[in-house]
Amino acid sequence: MAEGDYTLPEPTQAELDQMHSYLVLLNADGQGVTINRFRPFYPKVGRGHLLLRLQRLQDAGRAESRLRTAGGPVPFEFWYPVEV
């Protein structure tokens, strides 16, 4: 690894379970959740760490994402929980 390279640590199963429970809570209206909605739960965790957890949930079939606009021309990634 070159100096200055950083690899995000893999999330634990407990971290993934917690993220999934937050995703279910935040998606109560079924409209999907953007990554910024997790900030109250993770005020000091970087965006890359949050995205890695969401991607691992998606890999496990516990979340899915869709790009869609939120009233403007730029699409945002919305996350949805999947109950297994």
Residue 82 pLDDT level (bands cut at 50, 70, 90): very high
What confidence score (pLDDT) does residue 8 get?
92
Q: CA–CA separation, 54 vs 64, rounded Å?
A: 9
Stretch (H or E) spanning 66:
strand 63-69
pLDDT for 42: 96
pLDDT greater than 90 at residue 2: no
* Residue range 4-50, pLDDT digits in tens: 788 999 999 999 999 999 999 999 999 999 999 999 999 999 999 99
Global pTM reads 0.88
